[in-house]
Amino acid sequence: MKSWTRTLNLDDAHTLLALAEPGVSCDDWSEACHQALPDLSMPRRRELIRLLRDGFLEWTADDRIAPGLFLRLYRKAPALAQLDLVNLQWALSHPITVIAIETLVTPALSRRDRSIPLDDVEAVVAAHVDTGSAESLRKTRTVLLGAMEDIGTLTTSGTGQHRYLEAARGTPHPMGFAYLVLRELAERGVDAMMISEVTESSLATRATQCGKHHAESCLKWCIQHGWLVTDGDEIRGK
């Protein structure tokens, strides 16, 4: 897979997503984005626009913002949930995040010592990222660790080679949890999944390592607020 060297300033991301309204053309949205971040350089503004355009938004055939799943939830979410949605979407914009979580975090959570050696992270990146550049591997590791920390699956302290890493359980906002369930249903091309799968082995639980208790709490909230519905022993999107 490709390296992951670009960074996303989350405050800037929220600023630009606030301008993303369904039906607005890509050109008009991009122009509004440039005007909203005048203190950034033109190359950096273009990079941020591209990251959001390609990784967060969906587009119609005539290049207008579509009411896609992420944007639909983001626009209806309270501020706290919006933070969670952006963190989750950014973390999952590269497949190495889930690989690293399942390879490093999941087994560490079952141990008394939940520390994760930095060398193990470097080994995962080197095994899965197709590049001969040591700098690209280093940057990918840095972006990956930041993304994992932002979604709560990792806590860190220190810097450089002395950085201490410890596996943790994320606590996603219920709307973030609902988004991951709905996203997985769409990616799999199915209408529903078993309740037990949602709370034990779905993307929402694997990506956040939130644990069954938190997953059940999120699912209850999602059903109460109409983001997910029950159908016998299955869960469907509304």
- pLDDT digits 0-9 by tens, 97-139: 999 999 999 999 999 999 999 999 999 999 999 988 999 999 9
CA distance 176 to 70: 10
Identify whether the C-beta of residue 197 lies closer than 8 Å to the C-beta of residue 188: no
- In the block, tokens 């799968």 appear at 197
**Rounded to two decimals, what is the model's pTM?**
0.93
Spell out the residues 6+ positions from residue 90 whose beta carbon is closer than 8 angstroms to its own.
8, 10, 13, 55, 147, 150
Percent of all residues in the chain with a pLDDT value above 90, rounded to a whole number: 93
CATH of domain 174-237: 1.10.10
Structure tokens at 65: 């913002």
Q: What is the pLDDT of residue 160?
A: 67
φ, ψ of residue 166 in degrees (nearest 5)? -140, 135
Structure tokens at 236: 């469907």
Q: What is the pLDDT of residue 234?
A: 95
CA distance 18 to 231: 34
CATH of domain 10-78: 1.10.10
Q: What is the pLDDT of residue 29?
A: 97
The residues that bridge with 30 in the sheet, in sequence order, are none
Structure tokens at 180: 């991951």
Q: What is the pLDDT of residue 2?
A: 92
Residue 172 above 70 pLDDT?
yes
Spell out the residues 6+ positions from residue 84 whose beta carbon is closer than 8 angstroms to its own.
172, 173, 175, 176
Residue 233 above 90 pLDDT?
yes
φ, ψ of residue 180 in degrees (nearest 5)? -65, -35
CA distance 24 to 29: 6
Structure tokens at 41: 């350089």
Q: Do 96-167 and 10-78 fall under one CATH topology?
A: yes
Identify whether the C-beta of residue 6 lies closer than 8 Å to the C-beta of residue 14: no
Quote the Cα angle for 55-60-65, to 5°. 60
96-167 CATH pick, 1.20.120, 1.10.890, 1.10.10, 1.10.287: 1.10.10
CA distance 223 to 48: 34
Q: What's the one-letter identity of residue 176?
A: G
Instruction: Work out the average pLDDT over 14-32.
Output: 96
Per domain, the residue ranges of the chain are 10-78, 96-167, 174-237
pLDDT by residue (tens digit) across 49-58? 999 999 999 9
